Amino acid sequence: MLALRHEGNTLIAKAPRGGGPNERIKRAMPQIEDMIKDLPPDLRQEVEDFVQFLLHTRVKRVGRKPNLNWRGALRGERDNYTSVELQHRLRDAWGD
C-alpha cells in the first residue's frame, strides 16, 4: 500500500519498503521461470494456456474504442417495433 503525504500543493506517494508490486514481480519472475522450466511439456502448455486466458479475460484493455459498426442496422424496423419490443425479441431469441 502506498503512503501518501502532502508537501505544499503536491501529493507525494511513497512505496513501502521492499518495493511496490512491480519490484516484487521483478524479483519473483526468475523463480517462476525456473519452476515453469522444470515442468513437463504438457504442463508448460497448460501454464501458457492459463496465462493467455488471464490476459484475455482479466486484463483491462486501455484506449480501445467500442465498435459501433452495427449502429443503424435495424433502422428499417423503426416503424414496426419499439426499442423495448426489439429487446424482448432478442432476449427470447437468445434463450435468456
Tens digits of residue pLDDT in 60-83: 766 777 778 888 887 888 888 888
Domain segments of the chain as ranges: 1-60
Q: Which residues contact 81 (CB under 8 A, 6 or more apart)?
A: 89
Residue 2's pLDDT band, with cuts at 50, 70 and 90, is very low
What pTM value is reported for the model? 0.41
> Taking the C-alpha atoms of 67, 69, 70 and 71 in order, what is their torsion angle to the nearest 10 degrees?
100
